[in-house]
């Protein structure tokens, strides 16, 4: 009886693994990109005017002067820009 139960559990396990693989293959065949955690975000990079490094606005330090915003890779670059 126990052996039968174990065999049944093993079959369920194999069937689940099998369907996961089949599902993955079908999704790949349909050309669906796998996305996790909502919509994809296009990260636009901006150039640090002091050293020329490209930085992501969300992670960068910024200064807004007369309507335009400038982004910097570090505090050193930001203060350098302020001093001209």
Q: Which of residues 12-51 bind Zn ion (CB under 5 A)?
A: 48, 50-51
Which tokens belong to 24?
């993955």
Residue 30 or 64 having the CB closest to Zn ion: 64
Contacts of Zn ion in 46-75 (CB under 5 A): 48, 50-51, 53, 73
Non-local CB neighbours of 73 within 8 Å, separated by 6+ positions: 48, 51, 53, 55, 60, 61
Residue 69: CB minimum distance to Zn ion, A: 15
CB 24 within 8 A of CB 34: no
Residues at the interface with Zn ion (CB under 5 A): 48, 50-51, 53, 73, 77
């Amino acid at each position: 009886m126990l052996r039968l139960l174990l065999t049944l559990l093993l079959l369920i396990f194999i069937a689940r693994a099998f369907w996961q693989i089949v599902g993955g293959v079908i999704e790949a065949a349909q050309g669906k990109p796998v996305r996790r955690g909502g919509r994809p975000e296009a990260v636009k990079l901006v150039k640090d005017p002091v050293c020329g490094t490209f930085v992501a606005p969300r992670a960068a330090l910024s200064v807004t002067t007369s309507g335009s915003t400038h982004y910097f890779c570090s505090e050193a670059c930001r203060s350098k820009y302020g001093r001209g």
